[in-house]
Structure 1
Amino acid sequence: MRLYADSSKCCGCSACLVACSLNLFEENNPKKAALRVVPHFPEPGNYELKVCTQCGECAQVCPTGAIQRNERGAYFVDAALCDLCGACETVCPEGVMFVVPEMSEHSWKCDLCGDCVLVCGMNVLWIAEPSTQAA
């Protein structure tokens, strides 16, 4: 399973970011979300959602084995094992692996909880098998 996004529907409300930060850190802090809403203004005048594709590149380079799979098959960060080395952030092709020592004692990424999907009023996000891309 993985998270998909249809950026053409995004209104930039950031509800997904709030839901994500509440799940991962139990705080309302969109900067601690594991996805990004990238504004493209004034041209072309839209938003682009960057989401984790669960490719596993972060897990492959983690020297401590802190990035593991959960019961849904999504990669997550075991905070007790993370040493904030930054190797995972460097290889993330989507730019949604985060290592910010000032904000957290461990790196973070999407754990495929689905909270962002539930709060999105524009039906931008959905979870599906990698071979299934229809919303």
Structure 2
Amino acid sequence: MKWLKVDPDKCVGCGTCMETCSTTWFKENNPALSRIQVTKKDEDHYDLNACNQCGTCIDMCPVGALARDGNGIIRMDEKKCVGCLMCVGFCPTKSFFYHAARRPEPFKCIACGLCVKKCPVEALEIVTE
């Protein structure tokens, strides 16, 4: 299985990962459109939130729009998705996101690795288990 491993102890909160993600997938620099979220935990620490590919959302989807690909990445079949947002509501890590103004379907990290390449402090890593 492939997934994006985050190391919050290394994160400096620069937002490069969110910028890379949102500009790649939505063609605009908007943190709300990023599939990885960085939030300030306290003065010196940050939380990084990205899908760990646990699979809880697969069982929650009432229309079978979610399934694992050959690398273990959970993918959405946008043709099947009805926008019920069950995946968003039941995600145990709150890593499924929704932005009604920009996309009718929810979205999440698919471990593409582009943010890993851009992170200046190596707080992100693509892991295969």
Fold match by TM threshold 0.5: yes
Match of 1:96 in 2: 95
Q: Which amino acid aligns with 1:101?
A: A
CA-atom RMSD in angstroms: 1.6
Q: Percent identity?
A: 34
Structure 1 residue ranges without an equivalent (≥5): 131-135
Query: Contact 1:37 / 1:48 at 8 angstroms: preserved in 2?
Result: yes
Any idea what SS the aligned residue of 2:4 has?
strand
Any idea what SS the aligned residue of 2:9 has?
helix
Q: Which moved more, 1:84-93 or 1:94-103?
A: 94-103
Q: Deviations over 1:29-80 (max 9, x none)?
A: 22111111010234xx311111211001111111122222234221122222
Match of 1:40 in 2: 41
How many positions carry a matched residue from both structures? 128
Query: Contact 1:84 / 1:101 at 8 angstroms: preserved in 2?
Result: no
Alignment of 1:1-135 (within 5 A): 1-42=2-43, 45-130=44-129
Residue 82 of structure 1, CA deviation? 1.6
Residue 95 of structure 1, CA deviation? 0.9
When normalised by structure 2's length, the TM-score is: 0.89
Residue 3 of structure 1, CA deviation? 0.9
Aligned-partner Cα distance in 2 for 1:5–1:65? 28
Change in 2 beyond 3 A, CA 1:23/1:72 = farther
Aligned-partner Cα distance in 1 for 2:5–2:75? 17
Aligned-partner Cα distance in 1 for 2:80–2:22? 21
Match of 1:133 in 2: none
Q: Deviations over 1:92-122 (max 9, x none)?
A: 1111101332331111011111111011010
Structure 1 stretches of 4+ moved >3 Å:
none
Q: Which amino acid aligns with 2:21?
A: C
Residue 91 of structure 1, CA deviation? 1.4
